[in-house]
Structure 1
Amino acid sequence: MREISLDRLRTLVVVAELGAFAEAARQLNLAPPTISLHVAELEARVGAPLLIRNRNQVRPTAIGETLLARARRLLADADQALDEVRRQVEGLTGRVRLGASTGAIAHLLPKALEYLQGQHPGIDVQVQVLTSQASLARLRDGSLDIALVALPQAAGKSIRLTPWRRDPILAYVPARWQPPAKVTPAWLNQRALILNDSSTQLSRVTSEWFAAAGLYPEPRIELNYNDAIKRLVAAGYGATLLPQEGEASEPHPGIARRPLRPGLWRHLGIACREAEMERATGFVLEALERLRQ
């Protein structure tokens, strides 16, 4: 069964509003026979007359009035849909799906989102807490648009991965432990540790840092929520290694923060698909670039 064309419905609405086929033809920039054909096709599809044709005026029938009411709503919805799509194509609106760790979300993203809101208030960034590997997997399957990931990573084809930030990794130690000015692997190895689990890049980086000194510590607990880790450090439960993210604000009074010897760094990258991206995604990348180090 043939569907009703929106063009035919628009013709019916214009004819009914102007009350004349000739006037409708001029407004729609169509030939008069085309206007008549559109109405005839609708009447054949409905199986009943839609217009009463008098010499001086055309008026809708009762059935025509019913169809006109629906047609006006359908045309308004179609126009609104096209306008929304146009605005998204132009980058005035849009939804961008971004994956990142809790630390990046808490300490790095707010500045980028504040800038984005000022420049492009119609763009909605939907943030998901994900590990780097999970973010890359979602980029590949199309369920994510941008990912902030710890480097190095094997991005694979179709994914563009660019370096973004280089943040120092510091020791966070209970203040009452009175740590030295610079913390070494040997000093930390003698104390209770709270570390990220082996699924994270931070865990691999810190394990290599200890291993270079011939040490392989067993953490007291493994946890991937940095704010929770810092609370445990402040309570004296153990020490940890975490990147300094964002501004170098002072930690909790119960925490002493110290640089490491040898130094250690956490590298972050921005990942996105190689394919042509929507303008909204490009604007989010532009906001993130402002935080590049």
Structure 2
Amino acid sequence: MRELNLDQLRTLVAVIELGSFSAAARALHLAQPTVSLHVSELEARLGTPLVVRGGRRVTPTGAGDVLAGRARRLLRDAAEAVDLVKRHREGRLARVRLGSSSGAMVHLLPQILETLDAELPSIDVQVTVGRSTELMGKLFVGDVDIALVAMPQAGYPGLGLTPWRHTPMMALVPARWEAPRLVTPAWLASRPLIVNEPSTHVYQQVMAWFAAAGLRPTGRIEMQYNEVARRLVAAGYGATILPFEDPSETLEGRIQVLRLRPALTRQLGVAHRHPSLLDEPTRRVLALIGKFRALRGG
């Protein structure tokens, strides 16, 4: 019998933990037929069914449950072995892979990395920036060790998500516009709007804010990058609502940063695997990130 394939074992674990082939395909960034093929080849190689198909949720057989338990350990050991070799090659004592949501962390992330480099110089912190939902999937399959994400998020087995920071959402309005001290949905909906892409948490929160007032405005442009959106506001192209972290976002007085009525807050969280599965470097990085819980001036 040929040796077991780690990619196929990773697929089996994802199918069992997520309960469906389609969910596993999304988490692993594979085509669904590929996921089905991985499980079928494992079953053919071992000569026994590993999952029960046909129900609303895929469940493991007795053999599948046993194999998945061992597979988790094998996958963890393989990742650690590769990591040890890389750390040896680079002369580093440890590595922690940090995932960060792109919009909310544009100002805070450099501060975190600067502090990590100063206080934990022996730990190589590697950063992946992306959307919160994508980072949760990367954390689940082991591509990152910690993820700083917007809340709420869909739950993944074996992952914890702890509230971390409350970031105020503010209206960013061109400086030359006449604007009220407190921006309401009715006032903002009548102006040209710059909105995030519909798949983002910011977009969903902002649209819910308008919807609570019975409004469904259409954006003049959908912008993936918050920094570009700010510059469009400064140029007078439109107004937007974004998480507000740093006074420099006024772009030298070309933007008015105004409070919303009703107020809107973005909740950020720290996601990681179960504490019993974390190594000491990851624990130390988590502890340091916890120091950034308070808002500036809070």
CA shift, 1:156, in A, is 2.1
SS across alignment from 1:162: strand
Question: CA deviation digits over 1:191-218, x for unaligned, max 9?
Answer: 1101111111111111110000000011
Quote the RMSD (CA, aligned, Å): 2.0
Query: Deviations for 1:128-165, whole angstroms, at most 9, x for unmatched residues?
Result: 12101000001111111111111111222211100000
Aligned AA (2:250): P
Q: CA deviation at 1:287?
A: 1.6
**1:242 partner SS:** strand
Residue 163 (structure 1) aligns with = 163
The answer to whether residue 209 in structure 2 is matched with residue 209 in structure 1 is: yes
Superposed CA deviations along residues 222-280 of structure 1, whole A, max 9, x for unmatched, are: 112111000000111110000112x4446122211100000000000000111511222
Cα 1:248/1:235, change in 2 over 3 Å: closer
CA distance in 2, matches of 1:129, 1:114: 16
With 104-113 and 124-133 compared, the bigger mean Cα shift is at 104-113
* Contact preservation (8 Å) 2:149, 2:271: yes
SS of the residue 1:106 aligns to: coil
SS of equivalent residue, structure 1 residue 219: coil
Alignment partner of 1:258: what SS?
Answer: strand
Separation of aligned partners in 2, 1:260 and 1:221 = 21
Give the structure 2 partner of residue 285 of structure 1.
286
Contact preservation (8 Å) 1:116, 1:283: no
Where 2:147 maps in the other structure, the secondary structure is strand
- Native 8 Å contact 2:193 2:238 kept in 1: yes
Given that 1:93 and 1:280 are in contact with CA atoms closer than 8 Å, whether structure 2 keeps it comes out as no
Query: CA separation of 1:163/1:183 partners in 2, compared to 1, >3 Å: closer, same or farther?
Result: same
Q: Tell me if structure 1 keeps the 8 A contact 2:195–2:203.
A: yes
Instruction: Compute the displacement of 1:99 (Å).
Output: 1.5
Unpaired segments ≥5 residues, structure 1: 1-80
Letter in 2 for 1:291: F
Is the Cα–Cα contact under 8 Å of residues 230 and 249 in structure 2 kept in the other structure? Answer: no
Equivalent position of 2:261 in the other structure: 261
1:251 aligns to 2:259 (yes or no): no
CA distance in 1, matches of 2:113, 2:169: 24
Q: Which residue of 2 aligns with 1:93?
A: 93
What CA distance in whole angstroms lies between the structure 2 residues aligned with 1:109 and 1:123? Answer: 16
Distance 2:208 2:148 in 1: 22
Conserved in 2, the CA contact under 8 Å of 1:168 and 1:244? yes
Inter-partner Cα distance in structure 2 for 1:250 and 1:100:
19
Structure 2 length as normaliser, TM-score?
0.66
Q: Name the counterpart of 1:120.
A: 120
Three-state SS of the structure 1 residue aligned to 2:278 is coil
2:182 matched residue in structure 1: 182
In 2 relative to 1, CA 101–173 (structure 1 residues): closer, same or farther, beyond 3 Å?
A: same
Report the TM-score, using the length of structure 1 for normalisation.
0.67
Q: Distance in 1 between matches of 2:239 and 2:154?
A: 30
Query: 2: distance between equivalents of 1:257 and 1:279?
Result: 41
Does residue 1:111 correspond to 2:107, yes or no?
Answer: no
Residues 58-115 of structure 1: CA distance to partner in whole angstroms, max 9, x if unpaired?
Answer: xxxxxxxxxxxxxxxxxxxxxxx79x67xx9xxx822211222223442112222222
| SS of aligned partner of 1:208 | helix
Gapped regions of structure 2 (runs ≥ 5): 1-83
**8 Å contact 1:167–1:266 — kept in the other structure?**
yes
AA matched with 1:289: G
Q: What is the distance in 2 between the residues matched to 1:136 and 1:264? A: 24
Maintained 8 Å contact 1:112/1:290 = no
Percent identity between matched residues is 49
1:223 match: 223
Amino acid of the residue matched to residue 137 of structure 1? G
Query: Corresponding residue for 1:173?
Result: 173
Runs of 4+ with deviation above 3 angstroms: 247-250
CA distance in 2, matches of 1:219, 1:195: 6
Q: How does 1:23-34 map to 2 (within 5 A)?
A: none
Q: Which has the larger radius of gyration?
A: 1
Q: Cα–Cα, structure 1 residues 123 and 115, in superposed 2: closer, same or farther, change >3 Å?
A: same
For the residues of structure 1 that align with 2:115 and 2:93, how far apart are their CA atoms? 15
